[in-house]
Amino acid sequence: MPTDARDDNSFDKYVNTCMKISSVFATTNAVYMVIAGDFNCSDGSTFDDIFCSFYMINNWFVLIK
């Protein structure tokens, strides 16, 4: 995931990456999938709202450690 540089370019890259991940889910016949990694968003970060919308729209379960 793109780093939060608090600029329009990193914001656009983050949204684009989220859209690519959504597209993989939309075009597969898989029943279950796991995405793991650092999504570069913490409470209050620039990407926090995008990430929350991203998983809520796709109806995904998120485990945050």
pLDDT greater than 80 at residue 65 = no
Across the chain, mean pLDDT equals 86
% of the chain residues with pLDDT over 70: 98
pLDDT digits (tens, 9 = 90+) for 11-63: 999 999 999 988 988 898 888 888 888 888 778 788 888 888 888 888 888 87
Predicted TM-score (pTM) of this structure: 0.78
- The 10 Å Cβ neighbour count of residue 23 is 10
Q: Is 6 helix (H, G, I), strand (E, B) or coil?
A: coil
End-to-end CA separation in angstroms for the chain: 17
pLDDT digits (tens, 9 = 90+) for 27-37: 988 888 888 88
